[in-house]
Amino acid sequence: MSTAQGRGTHAKAILGPELYAKLADTHVLLVGAGGIGCELLKNIVLTGFGKITLLDLDTIDLSNLNRQFLFRKKDVKQSKALVAAQTASAFNPNVKILPIHDNIKEPQYDIPWFQQFDLVLNALDNLDARRHVNRMCMAGNVPLVESGTAGYLGQVQPLLKDKTECFDCIPKPTPKTFPVCTIRSTPSQPIHCIVWSKTYLMGQLFGEDEDATGELDAAEKEGENAQEIAALRKEATAFKIVRDALRSKNSEDAAGIGLPEGGIVSASVSYEILIFFVPGIRR
């Protein structure tokens, strides 16, 4: 059996010959090319969906490489949609992938634009964009498959107008907690910065002697990025040194960590300590 014939053997056995024959003419929109998006793109390409439009706003970051397997180190800073499409195209030459590096909420992606697709797959990581795609699919009567993850937990939900509940039919609670790596490494919203300064910065500089070990251990068990957690452990060590310096009351303690006589650390000395230990801080 040739490679071309063997590629669709399992999909044909699962779907049946009649349904499988329709895949080549099925136009799929995949929104998101991150952790879920890479896996979804690989699956639908190998299954044999003939026309795929892949849309993602983000560029590739080094921290993505441990789970987003369509990217390599040489791809860092490039468009996720463009690189993912290029990589996945090699899996099945019979599939046409159109990559779009853009925001799904831009006005040109209106209801008629959504209606050109037979199926929409959501692989987004924020509620606002997921709600937007849900509204557009409900308005255009386009089938939507919604998916998401939190640590090791995952969920998938098929949504079809007048046949299933929509994504917003059950109100989603406003998040009261946020992933450690989001707050302390990759904040993207004002609330992230507020939580970081209130929960971490003030406590690290002026609060109790907390080394954040328990919290970071829990985050690691939840499946958060190990490389980022290692960087956060180093950051916690830097803050502890600054905190100890601020509390130092005698010259011996001050001399032990290279501080001015009297144990009073200046802002400039604190900053130099942070620069030494935390690579993300620049002069």
DSSP string, 90-151: TT-TT-EEEEEES-TTSTTS-HHHHTT-SEEEE--SSHHHHHHHHHHHHHHT--EEEEEEET
Boundaries of domain holding 219: 180-277
pLDDT in tens, 30-80: 999 999 999 999 999 999 999 999 999 999 988 788 889 999 999 999 999
Closest CA to 157 of 117, 122, 105: 122
Which of 106-120, 153-167, 249-263 is predicted least confidently? 249-263
Task: Residue 96: count other Cβ atoms within 10 Å of its Cβ.
Answer: 14
pTM value is 0.66
* Residue 171 belongs to some domain of the structure: no
* Residue 164 belongs to some domain of the structure: no
Angstrom distance (rounded) from CA 222 to CA 244: 31
pLDDT in tens, 78-135: 999 999 999 999 999 999 999 999 999 999 999 999 999 999 999 998 888 999 999 9
Beta strands in the chain (DSSP E): 27-31, 51-56, 96-101, 119-122, 144-150, 153-159
* Residue 221 belongs to some domain of the structure: yes
Angstrom distance (rounded) from CA 269 to CA 242: 9
The two structure tokens encoding residue 58: 């983000």
* Residue 172 belongs to some domain of the structure: no
138 and 55, same structural domain? yes
Cα atoms found within 13 Å of the Cα of residue 112, Cβ hemisphere only: 2
Q: Which amino acid is at 280?
A: G
Residue bearing the bigger pLDDT, 84 or 186: 84
Taken in order 15, 6, 33, 183, is the CA torsion positive or negative? positive
Residue bearing the bigger pLDDT, 188 or 97: 97
* Residue 237 belongs to some domain of the structure: yes
Closest CA to 248 of 237, 263, 262, 269: 263
Residue bearing the bigger pLDDT, 175 or 90: 90
Task: Give 157: exposed, middle or buried? Use CB within 10 Å, 0-12, 13-18, 19+.
Answer: middle
143 and 35, same structural domain? yes
37 and 118, same structural domain? yes
125 and 96, same structural domain? yes
Question: CATH number, domain at 28?
Answer: 3.40.50.720
Residue 159 has a pLDDT of 95
Angstrom distance (rounded) from CA 12 to CA 21: 8
Angstrom distance (rounded) from CA 236 to CA 241: 9
Task: Residue 202: count other Cβ atoms within 10 Å of its Cβ.
Answer: 11
The two structure tokens encoding residue 68: 């987003």
* Residue 185 belongs to some domain of the structure: yes
Task: Give 221: exposed, middle or buried? Use CB within 10 Å, 0-12, 13-18, 19+.
Answer: exposed
Total domains in the fold of the chain: 2
SS3 content of the chain, % helix, strand, coil (to 5): 50, 15, 40
Residue 260, pLDDT above cutoff 90: no
Instruction: Indicate which residues carry an active-site annotation.
Output: 181
